[in-house]
Every structure is written in structure tokens, then in C-alpha cells.
């Protein structure tokens, strides 16, 4: 282990455990919860999907969460330096955990910008001209200058928070933002469930097989693909293998219990995903049915779920629709910001660590400025592409005659292919092998038992040695299959 420990005061740290928890939950609760989870749960078998998701969260998600927090706090570094400090063989994995959050940010910022746009159109809608979902969506994605402008606005907000520091920027934002998000979610749920036919949406989510018998989809997905969908979703949703949790762990006080914190983060993220599902799916389904749309034609997946289907729900509510639209998109914006700042921090921390380890003065504002500017420049490509609608999607850009899998359809998927598709499952698999087999879980014994005296080692070691590597290898194959359409699954 590198004996040059960083100067924690210079790097910054969380002011309290609750501040840390809200920030880690803020990182986990994001766009993945609000549109990925509900949609995937419905289409992949409702309650069955939920059970598989929960099992994976316990045996895989929890184990990696605890591993990342322990690695971050023990070394006192972000991902690149943390891996370097504990293992020569695995130090390259640290680089995956900085490239991946960078790439995720190049499209997360564009989606965050979309939320700002929808807040604005709902605000304008309050004064009488409430646009429909499709009109708003098409205008936004086919006007590169609009998409770039709102993305830059989103980046400026995140930049100001990250620049403020760990306790006076990130923690402060999450301490207000997370409770606010929760209250807004409850308001939206109450409104959504009072729309006639909302119960059809609840059945779609919670009744096993109802997506098929209710006519939403033609046939049930295979067990393997449900497992893979649940695994990928769980990983992204918990912010794992992206450097974010290692980074937040490195800012946490030594006396706090890592196993307890890991359980709280996993449980809270899952509860918010379920609540988000109850806020979004019943409203989308009910509004479709009430307008005479056949259930299999209601858009419940991808960006359209929020930006077309849900916007139509607000449009159809009449005069008060704008108010609910604003509440809803502010809530999604808060979720996006709290995740984005953890991604920006995961990239910035490498430069902060480098200065701090060399004993140089840490220049957080300059570091965060450079990181945010570079992300913004690359994100312009993703924003201008407008989800592949403006004529220079990767397949066109690379001169192919037609798309050859999701990776080539738009620049968002192209960035996602490297980050979520390859770096995330590969990084998690390598971390489990490193802790389980190379270092051995006992390497982290003191770290895990600082502030915690219960039993956990046997369970944790078993998960890291066997379950996580196998699960992650499988998820890696499925991600590759879904991006490149190999037809393996
Ligand atoms: N967990 C976030 C979401 O669900 C995304 C994210 C992934 C954030 C990785 C940080 C790190 O949207």
C-alpha cells in the first residue's frame, strides 16, 4: 500500500454521515430510476423482474457497493489512485472508472438539459399554450442549438455545485435536493393514481405476466434476458463501477459503518425506483387508454416515456397540467443533477488526488472547470445529434449504409456502449476478482469493522469470489449483445 496518504483536509470530506448518505443516494437515484426501472419492470415480467432485481441487489449490488466504499475509504483516494495503491495487477481498472463516468456525462448532461427544456415549456404552458409531448420533443431534438443551449445550462448548474466542494457544494445540494425530490414524488404519485384507469398501469408493473395478457407486448421475454436486464439496470441504478461510490467513500469519516451505509443506499435506491414507477407508469397507461390509444401503442420506454408520453399526460390535464409538469420535471432534474455531480466528482478527483498526494495545493475550481469544459465540448456532439435525428449518427458518420446495432444508431448509445456496455461490467468483475482472489476480503477487515461489529465477512467474501464475477461476466456478454445485435440471447 502506498504510504503517502492524501491530506484529507485539502481534498475535502463530508460533514456528516447523513450528508454522505443523502449524497450517495442522490448519486444512485437518477434518470435510471425514473424511466429505466419502471419500464423494464413492466416489460420484463413485473413482479418476477422485481424479485430477480432484489436478489441481484442483495448478492451483487450490496457486495460491490461495500467493496467500493471500503476501497475508497481505506486508501483515501478516488478510483485511479485507489486501485494503484492496492494492486499492481489491477491498477488499469482504475482508469476504466474515470473514462466511464466521463463518457456517461457526455449524454447524461444532454438528458439533464432536456429536463430544463420541459420545465420551461410547462412554465410557458401555464399561460395558455401547453404543447403536446411529440411537438415539444421533435422541436427540441431537431434544433441542435436548443439542445446544446440547455445542455450547457445543465452543465453550468452542476459545475457550480462541484466547484463549491464536497461539504459546501455536493453535500449541501443533496441535503436539500433529496428531501425535496421525495416530496415532489409523493405529490406526483397522488395525482397519477387518481387518473381513471391508473390501475391498469399498476397491473402492468406488479402483476406477473400482465404485460402479455393485458396486451402491452406480444410475448414474454426469456428468463435469461430478464436476468440480464435486471442486472444491468441494478448496476447502473446503484452507480456502481463508475468511480462515483469509491470517490464518495474516500470522503467519508472513518468512524461510520460501511455495511450499514451500503444497505441504506441499496434499499433507498430501490424504494425510489419503485415509487418512480408508481408515479410514471399508471399515469402514462391511464392517459393512453382514456384517449383511446391501443395499449401496445403507448410509448412506455426510452426517452419518449418521459418527454412524449408523460408530457401528453400533463397536456391533457388542462389548466393545472403545467403545474404538475413543472413539479415532475423539476423532480427529474434534481435526480439528474445529484447523479451528474457524482460523475463529475469521480472524474475530477483523480486530478485532485494527484495534487494532494504530491503535497501541492489542490486547486478544485480549476480542476472542476477543466473537467466540465471538456465534458461540455464532447457533449455538444451528442446534443446536436438529437438521438440520431440530424443526419450524422455514428452509422452515417462512419459511412455505413445502415445501423448495425444500437451502438451505431445515435451518439448517445455510442457513448453508452463503452461506458455502460463494456467498462461497467468489466470493471465490476475485475474489482470482485481483485478483492475476492488477489487481495482477499480480509485485506479490508479493519475498514469494514470500523464502526461496525456485526458479521458480514463470510457473506461478502462468498459474493465477491463467486457470485459477482459470474453475474458480471454474463451481464458483459448481454450488454455486448444488446449494443452489437449479435443475437446471442
Ligand atoms: N445511478 C444513476 C441513475 O440511476 C446514474 C449513475 C451511474 C450515476 C453511475 C453515477 C454513477 O441514473
Taking the domains of the chain in order of start, what are their residue ranges? Answer: 8-484
182 Cα–ligand 1 center, Å: 17
Write the DSSP assignment of 249-304 as a string of letters. Answer: HHTS-TTS-HHHHHHHHHHHHHHHHHHHHHHHHHHHHHHHHHTT--GGGS--SHHH
Cell of 480: 455486448
* Enclosing H/E stretch for 447: helix 445-448
CB 309 within 8 A of CB 288: yes
Q: Whose CA is nearest to atom 7 of ligand 1?
A: 239
Q: Residue 268's pLDDT is what? A: 98
309 Cα–ligand 1 center, Å: 23
Answer yes or no: is the C-beta of 28 below 6 A from any ligand 1 atom.
Answer: yes
Q: In this predicted model, what pLDDT tens digit does every residue of 33-57 receive, in sequence order?
A: 998 898 788 778 788 888 999 999 9
Q: Residue 223's pLDDT is what? A: 85
Answer yes or no: is the C-beta of 237 below 6 A from any ligand 1 atom.
Answer: yes
Pocket test of ligand 1: the residue of 25, 236, 238 to mutate, having most ligand atoms within 8 Å of its CB, is: 236
Cell of 319: 389548466
Residue among 74, 108, 248, 257 at smallest CA distance from 174: 248
Please name the residues in contact with 92: beta carbons below 8 A apart, sequence gap of 6 or more. 83
pLDDT band of 8, cuts 50, 70, 90: very low
215 Cα–ligand 1 center, Å: 32
* Higher-pLDDT residue of 168, 128: 168
Cell of 69: 466504499
Indicate if the pLDDT at residue 346 is higher than 80. yes
231 Cα–ligand 1 center, Å: 14
> What atom of ligand 1 comes closest to residue 342's alpha carbon?
10
Q: Whose CA is nearest to atom 10 of ligand 1?
A: 239
Indicate if the pLDDT at residue 9 is higher than 60. no
Q: Residue 7's pLDDT is what? A: 46
CB 62 within 8 A of CB 262: yes
Cell of 27: 448519486
Q: In the predicted model, what is the mean pLDDT of the chain?
A: 93
29 Cα–ligand 1 center, Å: 7
Residue 306: DSSP 8-state: I
Answer yes or no: is the C-beta of 339 below 6 A from any ligand 1 atom.
Answer: yes
28 Cα–ligand 1 center, Å: 5
409 Cα–ligand 1 center, Å: 22
Cell of 272: 425510489
Cell of 148: 446544446
Q: Whose CA is nearest to atom 3 of ligand 1?
A: 30
Answer yes or no: is the C-beta of 343 below 6 A from any ligand 1 atom.
Answer: yes
Please name the residues in contact with 144: beta carbons below 8 A apart, sequence gap of 6 or more. 383, 384, 386, 390
> What atom of ligand 1 comes closest to residue 245's alpha carbon?
11
Q: Whose CA is nearest to atom 9 of ligand 1?
A: 239
Please name the residues in contact with 347: beta carbons below 8 A apart, sequence gap of 6 or more. 98, 101, 102, 105, 243, 371, 375
Mean pLDDT value across residues 88-103:
95
Answer yes or no: is the C-beta of 87 below 6 A from any ligand 1 atom.
Answer: no
Q: What predicted TM-score, i.e. pTM, was given to this entire model?
A: 0.95
Cell of 348: 475530477
Q: In this predicted model, what pLDDT tens digit does every residue of 326-339 receive, in sequence order?
A: 999 999 999 999 99
> What atom of ligand 1 comes closest to residue 28's alpha carbon?
1
pLDDT band of 220, cuts 50, 70, 90: confident
Residue 33: DSSP 8-state: I
4 Cα–ligand 1 center, Å: 31
Among 263-277, 355-369, 443-457, the range scoring the smallest mean pLDDT is 355-369
12 Cα–ligand 1 center, Å: 22
> What atom of ligand 1 comes closest to residue 30's alpha carbon?
12
32 Cα–ligand 1 center, Å: 7
Among 23-32, 61-70, 248-257, 313-322, the range scoring the smallest mean pLDDT is 313-322
Please name the residues in contact with 402: beta carbons below 8 A apart, sequence gap of 6 or more. 395
How far is CA 467 from its chain centroid?
23
> What atom of ligand 1 comes closest to residue 244's alpha carbon?
11
Answer yes or no: is the C-beta of 30 below 6 A from any ligand 1 atom.
Answer: yes
Between CA 359 and CA 350 the distance in angstroms is 14
Give me the CATH code for the 8-484 domain, please. 1.10.4160
Count of other CB atoms within 10 angstroms of residue 272: 23
139 Cα–ligand 1 center, Å: 27
Answer yes or no: is the C-beta of 239 below 6 A from any ligand 1 atom.
Answer: yes
Indicate if the pLDDT at residue 5 is higher than 60. no
Indicate if the pLDDT at residue 1 is higher than 70. no
Answer yes or no: is the C-beta of 31 below 6 A from any ligand 1 atom.
Answer: yes
Q: Residue 478's pLDDT is what? A: 87
Q: In this predicted model, what pLDDT tens digit does every residue of 160-216 receive, in sequence order?
A: 999 999 999 999 999 999 999 999 999 999 999 999 999 999 999 888 888 889 999
110 Cα–ligand 1 center, Å: 14
Q: Residue 290's pLDDT is what? A: 96
339 Cα–ligand 1 center, Å: 5
Pocket test of ligand 1: the residue of 249, 303, 332, 339 to mutate, having most ligand atoms within 8 Å of its CB, is: 339
pLDDT band of 311, cuts 50, 70, 90: very high
CB 77 within 8 A of CB 255: no
Amino acid at each position: 500500500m502506498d504510504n503517502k496518504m492524501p491530506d484529507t483536509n485539502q481534498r475535502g470530506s463530508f460533514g456528516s454521515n447523513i450528508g454522505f448518505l443523502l449524497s450517495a443516494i442522490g448519486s444512485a437515484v437518477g434518470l435510471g430510476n425514473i424511466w429505466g426501472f419502471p419500464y423494464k419492470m413492466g416489460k420484463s415480467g413485473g413482479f418476477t423482474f422485481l424479485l430477480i432485481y432484489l436478489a441481484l441487489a442483495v448478492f451483487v449490488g450490496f457486495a460491490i457497493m461495500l467493496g467500493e466504499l471500503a476501497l475508497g475509504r481505506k486508501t483515501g483516494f478516488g478510483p485511479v489512485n485507489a486501485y494503484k495503491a492496492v494492486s499492481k495487477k489491477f491498477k488499469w481498472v482504475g482508469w476504466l472508472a474515470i473514462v466511464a463516468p466521463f463518457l456517461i456525462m457526455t449524454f447524461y448532461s444532454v438528458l439533464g438539459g432536456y429536463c430544463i427544456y420541459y420545465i420551461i415549456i410547462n412554465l410557458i404552458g401555464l399561460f395558455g399554450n401547453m404543447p403536446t409531448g411529440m411537438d415539444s420533443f421533435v422541436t427540441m431534438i431537431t434544433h441542435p442549438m436548443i439542445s446544446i443551449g440547455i445542455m450547457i445550462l445543465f452543465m453550468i448548474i452542476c459545475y457550480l455545485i462541484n466547484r463549491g466542494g464536497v461539504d459546501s457544494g455536493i453535500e449541501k445540494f443533496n441535503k436539500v435536493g433529496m428531501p425535496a425530490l421525495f416530496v415532489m414524488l409523493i405529490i406526483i404519485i397522488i395525482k397519477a393514481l387518481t387518473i381513471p384507469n391508473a390501475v391498469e398501469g399498476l397491473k402492468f408493473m406488479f402483476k406477473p405476466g400482465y404485460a402479455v395478457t393485458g396486451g402491452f407486448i406480444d410475448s414474454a421475454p426469456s428468463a435469461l434476458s430478464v436476468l440480464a436486464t435486471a442486472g444491468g439496470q441494478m448496476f447502473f441504478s446503484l452507480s456502481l463501477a463508475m468511480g462515483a461510490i469509491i470517490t464518495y467513500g474516500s470522503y467519508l469519516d472513518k468512524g461510520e459503518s460501511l455495511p450499514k451505509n451500503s444497505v441504506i443506499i441499496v434499499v433507498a435506491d430501490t424504494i425510489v425506483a419503485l415509487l418512480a414507477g408508481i408515479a410514471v407508469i399508471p399515469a402514462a397507461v391511464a392517459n393512453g387508454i382514456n384517449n383511446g390509444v391501443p395499449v401496445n401503442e403507448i410509448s412506455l420506454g426510452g426517452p419518449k416515456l418521459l418527454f412524449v408520453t408523460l408530457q401528453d399526460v400533463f397536456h391533457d390535464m388542462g389548466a393545472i397540467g403545467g403545474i404538475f409538469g413543472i413539479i415532475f420535471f423539476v423532480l427529474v432534474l434534481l435526480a439528474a443533477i445529484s447523479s451528474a455531480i457524482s460523475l463529475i466528482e469521480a472524474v475530477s478527483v483523480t486530478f485532485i488526488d494527484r495534487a494532494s498526494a504530491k503535497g501541492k495545493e489542490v486547486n478544485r475550481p480549476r480542476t472542476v472547470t477543466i473537467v466540465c469544459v471538456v465534458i461540455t465540448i464532447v457533449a455538444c456532439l451528442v446534443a446536436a445529434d438529437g438521438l440520431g435525428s440530424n443526419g450524422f449518427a455514428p452509422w452515417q458518420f462512419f459511412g455505413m449504409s445502415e445501423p448495425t446495432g444500437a451502438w451505431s444508431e445515435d451518439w448517445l448509445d455510442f457513448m453508452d456502449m463503452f461506458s455502460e456496455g463494456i467498462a461497467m461490467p468489466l470493471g465490476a468483475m475485475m474489482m470482485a476478482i481483485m478483492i475476492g482472489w488477489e487481495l482477499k476480503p480480509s485485506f479490508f477487515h479493519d475498514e469494514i469493522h470500523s464502526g461496525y461489529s456485526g458479521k458480514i465477512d463470510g457473506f461478502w467474501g462468498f459474493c465477491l469470489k463467486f457470485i459477482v464475477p459470474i453475474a458480471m461476466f454474463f451481464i458483459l456478454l448481454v450488454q455486448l449483445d444488446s449494443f452489437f445485435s449479435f443475437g446471442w440471447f
